[in-house]
Structure 1
Amino acid sequence: MVSKEILTLGMELANIVGNRSVESIFDKINVAKKKGDNEETIIKLEEIINELISDKNNLIQIAQAYQEKIITQKITDNEIEYIIENIIPLAEQILKKTAFEEEEKEKIKEGLEIIKSIISKETITILQILGFNFKKSLGEPLTDLVESLIREKVKKVDTEIEKLIIKREIEFLKLCSDEDRYNRFLGLQNN
């Protein structure tokens, strides 16, 4: 799926290229020359030059925006090496600390061995050349997962706080309904 930013850049590029074909530029130059007035011709030619300079600057900005989008999607060689050196050992550490049965652990170890054979600098580079976006396909879902886990924890904490507030209010109402307890409470508050 192409992002909105890429589509917008493409439309801007098509607009500039469509409006400034070589033929249309030469037509403008010929029209300016045919008028016969040298000053007016110079002014028109300066306008054409300024439009071309403006278009060139816009094209440079579009190219830089495209490059920025591509760079944000590409994993660098250093990042690839870091991932390769750390992901499998991290997965193995997690496996050791989990409470799986031995049979399940063996299956997971076999899966890790397959992953080890697949994860290489060459494989990741080839996939990126083919257009695979690791950051989007792996990074965004992981980000969403962590976000949902955090939201779930916050919701649980909020629920517990609400329960404690209600419990405190109930206890206070119980306190207020017993005159002796309420008077003792007021005495403690005054001290």
Structure 2
Amino acid sequence: MLRALVVSSTEKGCSSLCSLIKEHEGSVDILHCYSAAEARRIILDSELDFVVVNAPLADESGEDLAIMVTEQSLATSILVVRVEYFEQTQALYSNQGILVVSKPVIRQMFFQALSLGLSLRRRLGAMHNENEKLHRRIEEIKLIDRAKWTLIENLGMDEGQAHRHIEKQAMDLRKSRYDIAVSILKTYQR
């Protein structure tokens, strides 16, 4: 289920944006708050798919909050501004990944921003997952290499022999090479 945060200084603005989101997405978990300070706490504590900031807020203009969303989370940031500030705001913040929508909110334009934002969120999420997987793989390779060097230093093997030893142990014991490497390091690095 999608998770969203709506930040608006007024109850009317908050309920209006929440109803538009529900109309577009159907089943969505929507959190809402009325200040940037409260929004920052929610953003840091929750995993959100998108954040809608109805500028200006009671405690700040809202642009800094929208930037914080894109810099410190995977959520899409949608900034809603008055029509007279739309072009200037879009020029300033669109290159930072912030989607800008003007007030009064036109239903179709808001829906397009939501669709684009959710598409970007899915793509960013997939890239983040792939990046995490690659980082884990790199850490596994580093640990296996440390285990090889431990075998070389302690048992006098060459690199090929150490590699074959880890591979054979993994096959014989039906464990991963990573598990064998951890076991080797525990054995020889006491």
Q: Do Structure 1 and Structure 2 share a fold, with TM-score over 0.5?
A: no
Higher Cα Rg, which structure = 1
The TM-score normalised by the length of structure 2 is 0.34
Higher helix residue share: 1
Higher strand residue share: 2
Higher relative contact order structure (alpha carbons within 8 Å, sequence separation ≥ 6):
1
